[in-house]
Structure 1
Amino acid sequence: MPANEAVSVTEALHRRRSVRAFSDKPVDPAVLEAVFAAAQRAPSGGNLQPWQAVVLTGAPWQRVKDAVAARIALGREGYQPEYDIYPKGLTDPWESRRFGVGEALYASLGIPREDKKGRLAQFMDNYRGFGAPVMLFLHCSRIMGPPQWSDMGMWLQSVMLLLVEHGLASCPQECWAMYGVTIRETLDLGEDQILFTGLAIGHADEDAAVNQWPVPRVGLDEVIDWRGF
């Protein structure tokens, strides 16, 4: 989408997707500044504005990738989870949704279930930001609770929709929280901070199959309970 094309909020919501293949085209820092300035209008309880972000490109971004790659090489011993990304004992319908979207992703790439090596290679691309030239790491003070994490989510959604408006793409990546200690140390964040998520930012590779498969959403009858209408 051209950056100068007018886009409504509804259009931005429909166009936004988690992009998993980016071009190497650089991102204009002035555009990012405009996006983050506008996103400051995101709501937060008591106007706490708990979100904090580090935005990286070039050598600083490469240092994070290298540091995390070293931890990944340790296998399970290298894990440093900041929190449980998914609830323990996840049941249906949520487990089926999670499984289904994963299978659809691999199917779009032609990677069958028995191709463990191929699936692992695709998963590892998470930790390269899918080739995105910019990575944002979102964190907050450890004193913040669930309501403030909700505030961070609203700020992040605002950023993603504004990126669409400016012709850019993104992919929120909670997977980085699996190596939170290493990332916080590499970014010189204090122990008083907790890493929430990464956000890969760049220009989508529009021809990549992984960016074209339809991501399903459940119907309103599964999420809305109408009363008094």
Structure 2
Amino acid sequence: MKTVLITGANKSIGFETARQLLQQGYYVYLGCRDIQKGQEAVNQLQSEGLNNVESINIDVNSKQSVKAAREVLGQKTKVLDVLINNAGILGPVPQTSLEADTDAIKQVFDTNFFGVIETTQAFIDLLKESAEPRIVNVTSGLGSLTLHSDPSWKYYAVKAAAYVSSKAALNAYTIITAYDLRDTAFKVNAVDPGYTATDFNNHSGPGSVQDAAARVVKAAVLGADGPTGHFFSDDNNPETGISPW
């Protein structure tokens, strides 16, 4: 049975991603900052008959927490097949480039960028034990620098100095990680789940968590002939499913 760790998995897209992977036969570790909420999420999934799930306490903003989570997971399994870096925050808004507080920007980067790096590096040894390891970095269509330079883009006016910059940085890290693992069985991709109705945006998005999670799951279960180093986004490009960087 393949194993997957999902950060920020006790609610919204992360939780639905866990549900869908459980339905596909994966053993899911719900990475949660609040262990009580994590257990509540586990209880909900198990009440649906999805029993191959347990919570792992991990705060991606804390090196100690990430290290501790790695030690705990290492006692449960010697192989991790999929890592989904889903945890993310928006930060306080508005975020204009000339007025955004740098401490707030650093906080967003700590979660959206540095947290991903810390987590990926901590669990890479377990991933290397998998025959078909997958890393999925949950990004945003707003991380596309190409589209942000196009006045005709539907989200052109949605500029947020902290969030957009953090996701653009995450995209760059994804490209570099895919390159560093190019001669292996790894598939490393960034996935834009789309503008989804969640607590993250006060449920203003038009998309469903089911559709958003399905996009993440698609990258998590890629076969051996699947792509690596791609920026998947049905929202930005529904025809190809690929977004420009």
TM-score normalized by the length of structure 1: 0.27
TM-score normalized by the length of structure 2: 0.25
Higher RCO (CA-CA < 8 Å; seq separation 6+): 1
